[in-house]
Chains A and B, each alone.
Chain A
Amino acid sequence: MWNGCNTIFASTLKQMAHVLLVDDDGDLAETLKEVFELESHSCDCVETAEQALERLSKTAYDLVLLDWQLPDMDGLEVCRRYRAAGGKDRIVMLTGMRDAQSRQAGRQAGADDFLTKPFTVDQLLERMAAYLGAT
């Protein structure tokens, strides 16, 4: 009980963030949405590149978590199109690729950072804190 109160109290001190999660894996989306909500951020989840581009064209987000591989298009292409359309939101690619060439390709497509799958909740929250502190 105390713990829950602590979490809520701590969260109110933190900046609220609006996050878009683009991943076709429903379980992961559900788990991450729960993390964000427990941390008092708001989170929209979409499963396809098409939906992601549509959302991005209408809404501004503090952070976009974009999966590398999507059913209709790869994440790099989404990134490229979004940047080409003038999108400025921070994009973090979720990927299993760890090699330098993939990272390079990601940066060229306009990604700001990478989060290597799998990650722990601490790694995710540390990264979030760093981004929100920086903005």
Chain B
Amino acid sequence: MHLNLRLFYKLIAIVLIPFVFEGILAWSFFNMVESAQTQASNERKARRASADLNDLYQRTTDTARLVGVVVLRQKAPSAADFNRQEQTMAGDLKDIRELVHDDPSMLKQVDELEQNINASLRVVEESLSDVESNDQMAAVSKLKFLKNTAPVVTEKLSTLRNHFEEKADEHFYRQAEDFKRVHTLTWIGILFNALLVLGLALVAGIERNIRSRLMVLVENTHRLAKQQPLLPPVGGTDEIAHLDKVFKQMAQALDEARRQREEIERVKQEFVSMISHDLRTPLTSIQVFVSMLAKGMYGDVGEKIKDKAAMADRNASRLIRLINDLLDIEKMEAGQLALACEDVPVSSIVERSLESVRDFADKNKVVLEGTTCGDMLVRADADRIVQVLVNLLSNAIKFSPQGETVTVAVDDGETLLTVKVIDHGRGVPQNLQDSIFERFKQVEAKDATEKKGTGLGLAICKAIVEQHGGTIGLESQEGKGSVFHFTLPKAHTMANAQALAMKHA
């Protein structure tokens, strides 16, 4: 999850950074072009204003000429001529005003110019009407006023014209600068995009290289799992090459460990086979011979020899029991014991077990008692559970004083049954109660010889019960007896389910 998130961020970065950069580039480009356009339009405006002012200057000159005509020839010009000049001038002024409407200082200058022009025009108009009414003197005296105003108008006009000319030049230069910038920016853009393409090609190349080499590593993990030979090393000196190298070292170590394990397993199998066969063959010769002696097949050898032969026979049997137990527990602890589980009535297991130990109990003068639990079914390998119960019963009988009772009881539970073997023997000391189920743990060292135990019985019981999913344990008070108990899973049958339901209801 963490790695995915980081990859996601990386992807975002790869996409976002060029995107933002391109955006900024485009934005500046458009801005500059727009600014250049604005400069161009401003330049155009200023040039037009300058032209208008020129025109206005021409008009004022023309008007002055009219006035000159009046004064020199003492003849009034036509009103139409004057009116045309007046209207043209008003139009020019209007145009100029529009061109500078967003510049208050210029507007003020234009206002002043207009006032001066208007004032002059009024004077000219009045003097013209004086000429019409043949009052030459009044006209001339009024026109003298123009001598004062005319230079002011002219100067204002020229100032304004100069201003616009300068402004136009300024806009022209700015425009040129803007275009220069656009030019530079275009080159930067081209360069950046070229680099971007190059970078992406490089990233794609590296990515493909990384991916193909990672695929080699992935393939190697599959091959390792299938125990196939690994691919040759990936090239390079980077982390992937390092990972590949470390992986190969690990694979080698694993291979080594597997070979060792196989070797150990092989030796163990040989050992088991040796015990199973090679040890049994000489034992067979011994047992057949001593049983022949004991049976009297060699004729009458006397009671003493017969007894000794019978003892040798018993000891050979004990030796083979020990071997069998050892092989059994080896198998169980390696998990190689296959259980043949089926639904069996617990009562049949108890009965079979009691039957097996009845002779032994009679010989030891111990009374056997069994209480079964109806026809309750358990899920178990009957032969193995009988083995467990026989083992527990044999122990109980072995350690019971003559005349005592050994009892088998079954307690019903929700999903498990508990089987108990109760005796009134010497009991198990507190400090041994936990370890009694371990191999070769016996209450007294002499038990191995006196009681003919192998020291493996309870360990086998524990392994069998645990493989059934049950538990084994004991409660004991020294001198008063022991209760060994183990649990078994109940069969998943209708009868059991109904019994459970009844119990809850």
CB–CB A118/B295 < 8 A: no
Contact B288 A117 (CB under 8 A): no
Which residue numbers of B lie inside 8 Å of A, CB to CB? 273, 275-277, 279-289, 291-292, 295-297, 299-300, 313, 316, 320, 324, 338
B285 touches A25 (CB 8 A): yes
Q: Is A3 an interface residue (CB 8 A)?
A: yes
Given A35-B297, A119-B287, list of 6 further CB < 8 A pairs? A3-B296, A23-B281, A28-B284, A118-B283, A118-B316, A119-B284
Q: Which residue of B lies closest to A7 (CB)?
A: B297
- Interface pair A25/B282, CB less than 8 Å apart: yes
**A12: Cβ under 8 A from any B Cβ:** no
Contact B281 A98 (CB under 8 A): no
Residues on B with C-beta less than 8 A from A1 are 299-300
Contact A122 B284 (CB under 8 A): no
Determine whether A95 belongs to the interface, using a CB cutoff of 8 Å to chain B: yes
Query: Nearest Cβ distance between residue B326 and chain A, in whole angstroms?
Result: 13
CB of A68 within 8 A of CB of B292, answer: no
Most central of A1, A2, A35 by chain B CB within 10 Å: A35
Q: How far is the CA of A68 from the CA of B292 in the complex (A)?
A: 24
B324/A35 in contact, CB under 8 A: no
Q: 3 closest Cβ contacts across the A-B interface?
A: A96-B276, A117-B280, A118-B284
Q: Is the CB of A119 within 8 A of B277?
A: no
A3 pairs with B299, CB closer than 8 A: yes
Residue A124, interface by CB 8 Å: yes
B285 and A31 contact, CB distance less than 8 A:
yes
> Is B286 a contact of A118 with CB atoms below 8 Å?
yes
CB <8 Å contact, A124 and B277: no
Are B276 and A97 within 8 A (Cβ)?
yes
Which A residues are in CB contact (< 8 Å) with B273?
Answer: 69
Secondary structure at the B interface, as helix, strand, loop or mixed, is helix
Chain A 1-45, CB-CB to B under 8 Å as 1, else 0, gives 111100100000000000000010101100110110010000000
Given contacts A96-B276, A97-B276, A122-B291, contact A117 B284 (CB under 8 A): yes
- A120 located at the interface, meaning its Cβ lies under 8 Å from any Cβ of chain B in the complex: yes
Contact A118 B297 (CB under 8 A): no
Q: Mark A42-80, 1 if CB is under 8 A from B, else 0.
A: 000000000000000000000000011100000000000
The answer to whether A3 and B291 touch across the interface, beta carbons within 8 angstroms, is no
What residues on B are CB-neighbors of A67 within 8 Å? 281
Partner of A120, one of B277, B291, B338: B291
CA separation between A38 and B289, bound complex, in Å?
Answer: 13
Chain A residue with the shortest CB-CB distance to B298:
A38
Task: Establish whether residues A117 and B299, one from each chain, have CB atoms under 8 Å apart when the complex forms.
Answer: no
Find B295's partner among A27, A34, A95, A122 (CB 8 Å cutoff): A122
* Least CB separation from B337: chain A residue: A99
A69 vs B281: C-alpha distance in the bound complex, in angstroms?
Answer: 10
**Closest CB-CB distance, A37 to chain B, in whole Å?**
11
Contact for B281 among A4, A28, A34, CB less than 8 A: A28
**CA A97 to CA B275, docked complex, whole Å:** 10
A68 to B273, CA, bound (A): 11
The answer to whether B299 and A32 have CB atoms under 8 Å apart is no
Q: With A3-B299, A95-B277, A98-B324 given, is the CB distance from A117 to B283 under 8 Å?
A: yes
A85 neighbours in B (Cβ, 8 Å): none
Contact in complex: A31, B289 (CB < 8 Å): yes
Complexed CA–CA distance, A127 and B27 (Å): 106
Q: Closest Cβ of chain A: how far from B311's Cβ, in Å? A: 14
Q: In chain A, what residue has the closest Cβ to B340? A: A100
User: In the complex the two chains form, is A38's CB within 8 Å of B297's CB?
Assistant: yes
Instruction: Tell me, rounded to whole Å, the shortest Cβ–Cβ distance linking B272 to chain A.
Output: 10
The contact sample of 22 A-B pairs, CB cut-off 8 A, is: A1-B300, A7-B297, A25-B282, A27-B285, A28-B284, A38-B292, A68-B277, A69-B277, A95-B276, A96-B279, A98-B324, A100-B338, A117-B280, A117-B284, A118-B288, A118-B316, A120-B288, A121-B288, A121-B291, A122-B291, A122-B295, A124-B288
A28-B287 in contact (CB<8A): no
Interface string of A105-135 (1 = CB under 8 A from B): 0000000000001111110100000000000
Contacts of A94 in B (CB 8 A): 284
Q: Is the CB of B296 within 8 A of A35?
A: no
| A32→B288 contact, CB < 8 A | yes
A25 with B288, Cβ < 8 A, contacts A3-B300, A4-B299, A97-B276 known: no
CB neighbours (8 Å) of A95 from chain B are: 276-277
Contact partner of A121 (CB less than 8 A), chosen from B276, B297, B299, is B297
C-alpha gap A2/B299 in the complex (Å): 8
B422 vs chain A, min Cβ distance (A)? 32
A67 to chain B, nearest CB (A): 8
With a cutoff of 8 Å between Cβ atoms, the chain B residues found around residue A121 in the complex are: 288, 291-292, 295, 297
Complex Cα gap A119–B320 (Å) = 10
Most chain B Cβ neighbours within 10 Å, of A2, A31, A100, A118: A118
Instruction: State whether B288 touches A35 (Cβ < 8 A).
Output: yes
B287 touches A118 (CB 8 A): yes
Which residues in A have their C-beta under 8 angstroms from that of B313? 120
B289 neighbours in A (Cβ, 8 Å): 31
A28 to B282, CA, bound (A): 7
B318 to chain A, nearest CB (A): 12
